[in-house]
Amino acid sequence: MAFDDNGFVGLLRERALSHPDMVYARFNGVPVSYAEVDGQACAFAAHLRSLGLEPGDRVAVMMRNSVATLAVVFGLAKAGVAWVPVNAQQRGEGLRYLLSHPRPKLIVVDADLAALVEEARPAELAPAVLVHAGGGALDAILSSGSGFDEAAPAADAVFAIMYTSGTTGRPKGVIVSHRMLRLAAEGVGRVSAAKAGEVLFVWEPLYHIGGAQLLPLPMIRDVTLAMVDRFSASRFWQQVREEGATHIHYLGGILQILLKQPPGALDRTHGVRIAWGGGCPPDIWPQFQKRFGVEIRECYGMTEASSITTCNDSGTLGAVGRAMPWFTVELLDAEGRHVGQGERGEIVVRSSKPGAIFPGYLDNPEATAKALRNGALHTGDLGSFDPEGNLFFHGRMTDSVRCRGENVSAWEVEHVAAEYEAVEDCAMIGVAAEIGEQEIKLFVKPKEGSEVDPEALSRWLGQRLAPYQNPRYIAVVAEFERTASQRIMKHKLSPSREDCFDRMALQKA
C-alpha cells in the first residue's frame, strides 16, 4: 500500500474542508466531526500565538482523554509548538521533573489534577497554567471560532517530547517529529490491517504513544476512532459492541484481564475481528482467539523508532513478526557481531527513510550517544530470529520492569524509596505477575537502629509514585549481597511473592 510521510496536520484541514460533517471520532458515544476537531484546534493554535508562543516552544499537557484533549493536541501541532504529554497518574518528584526539564511555556491540566500540578510546578520557570473544567476558560477558547491559517509545520519539525522511563537515571525525553507520528500511524494501519469504514476502539490514553499514534489514522485509512475515557473490564465488550468496533488494542495484561471476566453472550457477538498490540504471552494467545473469535496481531517497537518496528501478520505464535518496509532489524552481541539463528542479541534498528528514527533525547547527549550509534538505534532489548526470519522479543537488557503497559525504571523507584527516613538502601526487581507482564518487588535495608514497616512504607510511596510505579511487594532484608564494586547483586534477590508484604492482599482484606 502506497503512503507518504509528510506529516499529518495538513490532512486534518483537507478532510475538514472536503468532508466537514464526517465523523473523525466518537468520545463515550458522542460523535465529533472533522470540522469540529479542526475548528477547535485552530482556535487553540490562535490562542497560543496570542500568548506569544512560537514554533519550537513547548507546552506540557496533563489531561485524560476528552474532546478537548484532541483539540489541544492538534492545536499544538498546527502551531508547531511541541506537545509534552504528562501521564495523569504522575505526582511528586516525578511530576516536578516532567514539568521542569522540558521548560514548558504553558501547562494545560484537567481541573481535578490542578492541585498536583500547582504543588509540582517549578517556581523558577513559573509557566502559566490553563485549567480544563467543563464550561471553563479552555472550553471558551476552543469554542471562540478563532481562525488559524499558517502553513503546516515541516515533516521533521518537533511534534512532541515524549518521556520514557530511564534505566539508570531520570526519564528521557524522546524528540518525536511530525514525520514520526505519521509513520507510527502508518505502522498501526499495517499491524491492524484496518480497512475503510472500520472502527478502532481506543481505551489507551493519548499521553501514551499507544494512544497518540492513532491520531492521524482516520485520515490515512478512512476509519473512525471510538474513544472512551478509561479502560473498564466489566463494560469492555458492551462498549465495543455499542460502538460497532472492529479492532481492539492491547497492552499491559489487558488480554489476561478480559479472559478473567465471566463468560457471557458478548464473547462471540461483539463484532471485533482483530486484536492488535504488544506483549501477548504465547499461552494467552490461543486462549483469547478461541474464546473471543478474534485474530491476534502482535507488533514490537519503541517511541524512538516511530513506535512500530515489526508486525506479525503470519500468525506465528509468540513472534512479533517482521520489520516494517522502512526498517531493518539486526541482532548483535556485546561486541557488535551478528548472532546466529535462534541466538539472542540486542535488537538494533536501521531505516532507509531519513527521519524515521528519532534525532535524540532532549538535552541528554549521553543517552542519545548510547542509543544512536553508527546510524542505528540500539534498543536495549533482546531478540532472536526463527528460521523464517520472524523476530521474537525476550525483554529488556537493562534495569527496568514492564508493569501495566509502562516501563518502570528501577532508578526512579529506588530514588524515591531511598528518601524514606528508615531506609538505608534499597533495590527493585520485577517478579512474575498473575496478570500482565511483571509486578514490582522492592527490597529495603533499614538504617541501623531503625525498623521499616512495609505497610507504612507502601502508603508513603503511594503518595510519591505513580500507581503503576508503586511496588506491589516489599521485602525487608538485613543486608544485600554486593559485587566487588559494591553494586547490589540483583540476580540473587528472591523473586518469590510469598516471602514479603503484598499491597494488593492488604487491599483485599
Looking up residue 452, the CATH number of its domain turns out to be 3.30.300.30
Same domain, 17 and 146: yes
Residue 397 has pLDDT above 80, yes or no: no
Coil, helix or strand at residue 473: strand
Same domain, 133 and 48: yes
Domain final residue, candidates 366, 396, 426: 396
Coil, helix or strand at residue 244: coil
Cell of 487: 553494586
Same domain, 104 and 121: yes
Residue 485 has pLDDT above 70, yes or no: no
Residue 4 has pLDDT above 80, yes or no: no
Residue 1 has pLDDT above 50, yes or no: no
Is residue 19 a part of any domain in this protein? yes
Strands (E), 150-264: 158-164, 172-177, 199-202, 224-227, 247-250
Same domain, 434 and 380: no
Is residue 262 a part of any domain in this protein? no
**Residues 6 or more apart in contact with residue 108 via CB below 8 angstroms:** 59, 60, 61, 62, 63, 72, 129, 130, 132, 138
| Inter-residue contact 59 to 84 (CB < 8 Å) | yes
User: How does residue 483 score in pLDDT terms, banded at 50, 70 and 90?
Assistant: low
Same domain, 15 and 147: yes
- Report residue 481: phi and psi, to 5°: -75, 135
pLDDT > 70 in the chain, percent? 97
Is residue 170 a part of any domain in this protein? no
pLDDT > 90 in the chain, percent? 79
Residue 442 has pLDDT above 90, yes or no: yes
User: How does residue 258 score in pLDDT terms, banded at 50, 70 and 90?
Assistant: very high
Tell me the average pLDDT across 343-354.
Answer: 95
CATH, residue 390: 2.30.38.10
Same domain, 21 and 134: yes
Same domain, 391 and 416: no
Q: pLDDT tens-digit profile of 263-321? A: 999 999 999 999 999 988 888 899 999 999 999 999 999 999 999 999 999 999 999 99
User: How does residue 486 score in pLDDT terms, banded at 50, 70 and 90?
Assistant: low
Tell me the average pLDDT across 167-173.
Answer: 76
Same domain, 65 and 133: yes
* Rounded CA separation 133/447 (Å): 46
Same domain, 50 and 113: yes
Is residue 355 a part of any domain in this protein? yes
Indicate the average pLDDT of the chain: 93
pTM for this entry: 0.84
| Inter-residue contact 495 to 438 (CB < 8 Å) | no
| Inter-residue contact 444 to 396 (CB < 8 Å) | no
Coil, helix or strand at residue 466: coil
Q: Is 243 left (phi over 0), alpha (psi -120 to 50) or beta?
A: alpha
* Rounded CA separation 359/368 (Å): 8
Number of domains in the chain: 3
Which residue in the block uniquely carries the three cell numbers 531520570? 170
Is residue 353 a part of any domain in this protein? yes
Instruction: Say which residue, 455 or 490, is predicted with more confidence.
Output: 455
Tell me the average pLDDT across 253-264.
Answer: 87
User: What does the radius of gyration of the chain's CA atoms come to, in whole angstroms?
Assistant: 23
Is residue 228 a part of any domain in this protein? no
Measured from the Cβ of residue 435, the count of other Cβ atoms closer than 10 Å reads 14
pLDDT value of residue 484: 53
Domain final residue, candidates 153, 183, 212: 153
Same domain, 379 and 422: no
Is residue 299 a part of any domain in this protein? no
| Angle, in degrees to the nearest 10, between helices 67-79 and 34-50 | 60
pLDDT value of residue 473: 98
* Rounded CA separation 125/123 (Å): 5
pLDDT value of residue 481: 85
- For the chain, the first-to-last Cα distance in angstroms comes to 55
pLDDT value of residue 104: 97
Instruction: Say which residue, 87 or 437, is predicted with more confidence.
Output: 87
Tell me the average pLDDT across 57-64.
Answer: 98
Domain final residue, candidates 371, 396, 421: 396
pLDDT value of residue 142: 98
pLDDT value of residue 491: 80
Closest CA to 258 of 435, 15, 426, 78: 435
Which helix (DSSP H) or strand (DSSP E) does residue 497 occupy?
none
**Residues 6 or more apart in contact with residue 34 via CB below 8 angstroms:** 12, 15, 16, 19, 20, 21, 22, 23, 24
Give the range of the structural domain holding residue 68, as residue numbers without chain letter.
11-153
- Report in angstroms the alpha-carbon separations of 11 from 77, 78, 196, 247: 12, 11, 16, 23
Same domain, 367 and 411: no
User: How does residue 115 score in pLDDT terms, banded at 50, 70 and 90?
Assistant: very high
**Residues 6 or more apart in contact with residue 390 via CB below 8 angstroms:** 312, 314, 316, 319, 320, 321, 322
CATH, residue 91: 3.40.50.980
Is residue 147 a part of any domain in this protein? yes
Same domain, 332 and 454: no
Which residue in the block uniquely carries the three cell numbers 507518504? 4
pLDDT value of residue 166: 55
User: How does residue 487 score in pLDDT terms, banded at 50, 70 and 90?
Assistant: low
Cell of 14: 483537507
Q: pLDDT tens-digit profile of 189-211? A: 999 999 999 999 999 999 999 99
